[in-house]
Copies of this chain bind each other. A is one copy, B any other.
Amino acid sequence: MDFTSPQSEAEPNGLTALQEQVVGYFVDGVRVLGLPRSLGEIYGLLFISPDPLSLDDLVRLLGISKGSASQGLRTLRVLGAVKEAENNGDRRTYYQPSVELKPLVGGFIREQVRPHLESGKSKLRLLQDTAKETADHDDREFFLDRIGRLDSWMKRGGQVLPVLQKMLGQ
C-alpha cells in the first residue's frame, strides 16, 4: 500500500490535509480574538466545506463532543458567523458560514466590543464620582485630569468603531 501521496482523506482524525490546515488557521485566528478553540474548529470546517454541515457532522469530523458543537454553534450564530441552511426535508439543521467580512466584523463588534465600551463608560462615571469625593488633596487636580484622559480614550474608541466597520464591511 502506498501512503506517500499527499492526496485527500485519511489524516490524523477524519479530515483531509486541507481541512486540517484550514481548521488550524481559524483556531489560531479565533484565539487572537479571545474566543475558544472549538469556535475556530467549527467555523474553519464549515468555511472549507462545499456543502452545509449538521451538528452531527461536526462532532464526527472534528472529534469534539456534542456539547461543544452545540454551544459553539450557538455562539457562532449569535455572532452572525454562521447561518442555517435550507434543511431539505431533513429534520436536522445544517449550517453554512458567513464568508463576507461585513457580518463577521459587525457581529464581533456588536457582541464583544460594544458591551465592553458601554460598561467602561458607566464605570467611568462612578470613577469620576469617587475622584470628586476624594478629599481636597493636592492630588485632586491630577486625578481628575487622568480620568478625563480615560474619558477621551473612550470617546475616541466610539469614533473609530464605525470607521473600522465601514472599511471592513464591503
Contacts and interface: CB of A to CB of B under 8 A. Distances in A.
Number of copies of this protein chain within its complex: 2
Contacts of A6: 130, 133
Contacts of A60: none
Where chain A touches its partner, the secondary structure class is helix
A126 interface: yes
Contacts of A124: 25
A130 B137 CA distance: 66
B146 A48 contact: yes
Nearest to A26: B150
Contacts of A112: 32
A134 B32 contact: no
Contacts of A123: 21, 24-25, 28
Interface string A61-100: 0000000000000000000000000000000000000010
Interface in A123-170: 123-124, 126-127, 130-131, 133-135, 137, 139, 142-143, 146, 149-150, 153, 156, 159-160, 163-164, 167-168
A17 interface: yes
A116 B167 contact: no
A112 B47 CA distance: 25
A21 B126 contact: yes
Closest 5 CB pairs of A and B: A34-B34, A32-B116, A50-B142, A18-B130, A160-B167
